[in-house]
Structure 1
Amino acid sequence: MKYQHNFNPTISDEDIFEEIVIEKEDIGYYNLVHQDGSVFKKYAEGVKQKNIVVIGIGGSTLGTYAIYKFLKYSKNLSKKLYFLETTDPIDIKSKLENIELDDTLFIVISKSGTTIETISIFKYINSLIKCDKNNTLVITESDSKLSEYAKANEIMSFNIPKNVGGRFSVFSAVGLVPLAIVGIDIDQLLSGAKEMHDSFFSKTQTYERVLKKARFFVEYKNSFNINVVFSYSSRLEGFNKWYIQLWGESLGKIDINSTRQGLTPIGIIGPIDQHSFLQLIVEGRRDKTVTVIKVEDFDSNLVIPSVRLEGLEELDYIDGIEFSSLINEQADATIESINNLNDIPCDVISIDSVNEKSIAALMYEYELLTSVCAKFMYINAYDQPGVEAGKIILKQKLKK
């Protein structure tokens, strides 16, 4: 992964790094890169169903979807992966109409085991087909109500470690099990994440990038409070969604001085949003940083053909250009136009190719970036009291 930037703040990083090292002893996501995925792969080998339906919401689905979306068009996958993650009745019904339920494994994922959205959808599935040990898998905390349900019904289950939060759980069973089942190489996922882990904790390239970027975001948070990820590939649409949850739920907090903190995440796709949101970036208020993510090798040789269109001959100079080259030229033009203004903080992440290691490395680095930002902001990145309050109100309303 290559990286370039146009900001260069300078503050000692030692205290922050030591805080992260101490935190690593209690916060579980850091060490998921060291796990042995063989138990997940063994289970995956025994799955006969062609359709895999993940029932969950937020951290239970977004990371898995991000990786699947990035890789599925470059992989010869024998199984299809679906996500039921909203209580929108139209979404539920339309998705299920296209799935052969008799040839489906249902994976129910809830860290707490009592997520209303997840259990509501699971109840509906049970009204359509009998969910039992033959077609259902549970992923939850070891002592949750959902775990008890699985044990009572002899349903296979995998545990989510208590010290791994949902939005940081993609490299646990939450993500690795469904991805292994559909044929994605989870060893390579863990390898990509581990490379970022080792580089950060050995204080080499990842350490330098993450500390510099986090420090800038926090030091200039009052000037540049909006952080735009501009991904130049539709494959990264899932990553954008995952990033928005990770950033918003982790960094929108009240700090130790009772001051409200937060960095606002926005995820957009190039070149689509080059024709909309870019206008706001370039001529709008200077309250945004921009991270452009490029994919160097799209694993596609689709070419613009030499087709004559009467009246449009002046555009014939694009004939023979690969679409992958075109989209990267569009990204480079956007980067240059932003940098030429000299007043918009912009950094660029270039992903070498479409594979497991690349997407895992990107996601793990963003997890590290989130944790380091939180340390600079004196907040807890791993709770979500603002979300929990809404859950309590919802349960009270539904019980009435």
Structure 2
Amino acid sequence: MKYQHNFNPTISDEDIFSEIVKEKEYIGYYNLVFQDTLEYKEYAKSVKQKNIVVIGIGGSTLGTYAIYKFLKYSKNLTKKLYFLETTDPIDIKSKLENIDLNDTLFIVISKSGTTIETISIFKYINSLITCDRDNTLVITENDSKLNEYAKANKIKSFEIPKNVGGRFSVFSAVGLVPLAIVGIDIDEILHGAKKRHDSFFTQGKTYARIVKKARFFIEYKNSFNINVVFSYSSRLEGFNKWYIQLWGESLGKVDINSSRQGLTPIGIIGPIDQHSFLQLIVEGRRDKTVTVIKVDDFYNHLKIPNIELTGLSELNYVDDIEFSLLINKQADATIESINNLKDIPCDVITIDSVSERSIAGLMYEYELLTSVCAKFMYINAYDQPGVEAGKIILKQKLQTKS
């Protein structure tokens, strides 16, 4: 008897791992943890300007912003990092009004080199100040139009490898160069990411955690289609934004059977959203998983003072408690209240500290999780045809001025 089929049964963990190992040969983000950072650090030392303005959008800025936002209040940074990433004229004008443009390095980042938002903002900057080799850096693909511009104007450039997608590019020059310039330890960043890489590819704890989580997400995607990241630190606001792009643009796809797939990412901040979105989680439809992210050590000992407020003595039990303890107890209370319901899938990630290693490890793990989910879903995590269609329409509308 001969038999042929095109069925796609649930893929095994072993097959998933094998597929990821194969993919590692041609998808570049996996191996960024092994790169030599010397050229980035040498360039960073040469930058004299106090203000660093990154001009980009999406994957060109979100990852860098996530790390900078997480670390900047715990570091003695001598330079300030700004991001111009929207064509909102009020945002552009208000940000530039507060920056000394004569003491600014402009970093123009676009993988394709023709991102309309990025080039439009860069054109405006050029109307305000002369952008040249002394105050401009370009980060792009080697064969892009933007790199041609850099060469023609003798402007320094760093390469974005072709096999590294924009939303997976935070550990390339896209993120490492701006972060090195402002004084963040990029070797520690790569060390944190590499630790997750090694644990996954030796099939250690990271592998077990990611594969189990990804399998649950996909096998129960029709029941729990919304994935909520509940980050208990305002420092993780940038991470939430980065996660939303990574998850949405990577997993919202049509699979090999022409079925529409996708998991909806939501990023919220505790304890702020305990007073809003938590109500929807607890008493709303059972269509959401929840991942709570905590920070174990904030490196901050700010306390609630022991003072008497007339009429509020019943809350004196919070006196002398550190705010870091309070926010973690709030997280624990939320976790326990969700778990007590027994019908909301919930997991908890605890970051050791506010450090380069911790945030990089978290972000690399989410990149791996995204890739594994895509394999379970039989989709390509690395393209974005839905976004490209909008870009084509926009170009046509602008060219016809209609």
- TM-score over 0.5 (shorter chain): yes
1:3-42 mapped onto 2 (5 Å cutoff):
12-42=12-42
Cα distance in structure 1, aligned partners of 2:344 and 2:193: 30
Cα distance in structure 1, aligned partners of 2:50 and 2:12: 53
Cα distance in structure 2, aligned partners of 1:267 and 1:331: 15
1:58-97 mapped onto 2 (5 Å cutoff):
58-97=58-97
Structure 1 portions without partners, runs of 5+? 1-9
RMSD of aligned alpha carbons? 0.8
Cα distance in structure 1, aligned partners of 2:292 and 2:16: 26
Cα distance in structure 1, aligned partners of 2:157 and 2:199: 33
Cα distance in structure 1, aligned partners of 2:249 and 2:243: 10
Deviation string 1:348-378 (CA, Å, 9 cap, x unpaired) is: 0000100000000000000000000000000
**Structure 1 counterpart of 2:191, one-letter code:** S
Shift of 1:12: 3.9
Cα distance in structure 2, aligned partners of 1:169 and 1:231: 22
Partner of 2:353: 353
Contact 2:233–2:295 (CA<8 Å) still a contact in 1? Answer: yes
**Structure 2 counterpart of 1:147, one-letter code:** N
Partner of 1:388: 388
Matched, 1:336 2:341: no
Partner of 1:209: 209
**Structure 2 counterpart of 1:284, one-letter code:** G
The DSSP-based 3-state class of the residue aligned with 1:296 is strand
Contact 2:292–2:348 (CA<8 Å) still a contact in 1? Answer: yes
1:1-400 mapped onto 2 (5 Å cutoff):
12-400=12-400
Cα distance in structure 1, aligned partners of 2:11 and 2:173: 38
**Structure 2 counterpart of 1:41, one-letter code:** K
Partner of 2:3: none
Higher relative contact order (CA 8 A, sep 6+): 1
Cα distance in structure 2, aligned partners of 1:361 and 1:317: 36
**Structure 1 counterpart of 2:39, one-letter code:** V
**Structure 2 counterpart of 1:168, one-letter code:** F
Cα distance in structure 2, aligned partners of 1:242 and 1:47: 27
Cα distance in structure 1, aligned partners of 2:11 and 2:117: 44
Deviation string 1:206-247 (CA, Å, 9 cap, x unpaired) is: 000000000000000000000000000000000000000000
The DSSP-based 3-state class of the residue aligned with 1:340 is helix
Shift of 1:93: 0.2
Cα distance in structure 2, aligned partners of 1:397 and 1:307: 62
- Give the 4+ runs in structure 1 shifted more than 2 A: none
Cα distance in structure 1, aligned partners of 2:299 and 2:275: 25
Cα distance in structure 2, aligned partners of 1:268 and 1:368: 21
**Structure 2 counterpart of 1:281, one-letter code:** I
| Greater alpha carbon shift after TM alignment, 12-21 vs 370-379 | 12-21
Cα distance in structure 2, aligned partners of 1:190 and 1:344: 34
**Structure 2 counterpart of 1:71, one-letter code:** L
Shift of 1:307: 1.2
Deviation string 1:85-143 (CA, Å, 9 cap, x unpaired) is: 00000000000000000000000000000000000000000000000000000000000
Cα distance in structure 1, aligned partners of 2:242 and 2:329: 26
Contact 2:11–2:376 (CA<8 Å) still a contact in 1? Answer: no
Contact 2:251–2:370 (CA<8 Å) still a contact in 1? Answer: yes
Partner of 2:7: none
**Structure 2 counterpart of 1:194, one-letter code:** K
Cα distance in structure 1, aligned partners of 2:291 and 2:229: 5
Cα distance in structure 2, aligned partners of 1:91 and 1:299: 32
Cα distance in structure 2, aligned partners of 1:297 and 1:95: 32
The DSSP-based 3-state class of the residue aligned with 2:158 is strand
Cα distance in structure 1, aligned partners of 2:122 and 2:335: 45
Partner of 1:4: none
Deviation string 1:138-197 (CA, Å, 9 cap, x unpaired) is: 000000000000000000000000000000000000000000000000000000000000
**Structure 2 counterpart of 1:306, one-letter code:** N
The DSSP-based 3-state class of the residue aligned with 1:314 is helix
**Structure 1 counterpart of 2:299, one-letter code:** D
Cα distance in structure 2, aligned partners of 1:315 and 1:359: 34
The DSSP-based 3-state class of the residue aligned with 1:247 is helix
Contact 2:56–2:85 (CA<8 Å) still a contact in 1? Answer: yes
**Structure 2 counterpart of 1:232, one-letter code:** Y
TM-score, normalising length: structure 1: 0.97
**Structure 2 counterpart of 1:272, one-letter code:** I
The DSSP-based 3-state class of the residue aligned with 1:197 is helix
**Structure 2 counterpart of 1:382, one-letter code:** Y
Deviation string 1:51-106 (CA, Å, 9 cap, x unpaired) is: 00000000000000000000000000000000000000000000000000000000
